[in-house]
Structure 1
């Protein structure tokens, strides 16, 4: 788990200590802030705790350690990061449900079937074998099966806008209709339109 994900009941205010390696100040464990006095660091961490998400026995503090460009939350079940609290709560619910559905028994993947190598007749010791034995059929392992069924092609509909091409009245090039005005302003602004 990421350091910004705490078990409920853990008090991060008790673990604030002065840095003795680089600066003799108090480092925040959840962002890059430095404080000169202990009470300032405690107030700062208390603000982190007020804005934290308490969900499923965890306290998830917003991370400002530079994992992403913007402050974010780390999921307590997977490696996902989310920026908004409501998105995190929704993600945790689905992420926990999918982790509960996964079986604790891990079925090892079946070994690959033995490959048959044909030896050229010129190098073979004896006559070539006429009966080829097909490799045994291997049932698919559970690791290869996707956890959710794939969406049917009829359920997914994409709306594609048809491109309309027109000729520029000044230079007779073919251009998309929606780009014509921009083209005229950029290329033919010196030309007077009659």
Structure 2
């Protein structure tokens, strides 16, 4: 019989490893690492729970290299089956084929042998009469799968205990068994009426019933208005740590209204909300603008400063001409070209956002 198949009444003998470690290796999972005794009992109990229940034996899934994927071995033939449902169907067919041959060879114990009147007395078999005590005692039915599973899971720790030294007898300390999962406290979700364990309730509420990040007056992303005409603001990308600010536009006046975020992921989030009928849903950057109270001051570029930067090889002559041209275009469009933005928690650190007609060109940070 294969190592992955064992009777419900007899348990597989697993001993402690003495070559590489002092723990226990699963006999049908060679790729897994070794386990201590409590973890090993749980692992084997899972094998028994997922095994195929056939007559008086359990057929566990085998992960040995006799076949690439995990599979089941048929105890009646040499075939291996991968899927559990296919294995159950195969056992029905295979047992039906083996049943007639077994019935011809082994007579039923409940049917007494009958002597033919034409046969001679020498060749006639002697009828066996059961004693009253044997006839009266009923045949004990095979144990149920649940009872066998409980007995096997509870007695794995007895059969797989490490070898003890017989010279000195030490009284073993009682092992405190872990509380089974069925005894854990269960709660019911007030939103979706799902019954789950109490230890998983907070994760369930956070993953399934939390609509984005909460934005409040005390907890929101810092922002500064950089263009009051077009409703463009610089918003901190993340709440924690240093991050480059992003542009968010929230213009709800005039003939054309625009409410958009610079990040592509925020745009996709808003498009999904619109297709779902929730057009008022916005990302946390746009929702943080309702607590924006600061307005950045425009910094004008002076030609003398740019000339000094060219002389010190900090800036090229072509860049100087481009900056002066962009400043002229910004003044003609009545939008700021360069503003000072301070979104950091520490004093003395600031960022310059260069803008042209409300569009970001580059971002530079300095101390």
With CA pairs under 8 Å and 6+ residues apart, which has the higher RCO, 1 or 2? 1
The structure whose Rg is larger is 2
Alignment TM-score, normalising by the size of structure 1:
0.48
Given the two structures, how large is their TM-score scaled by the length of structure 2?
0.26
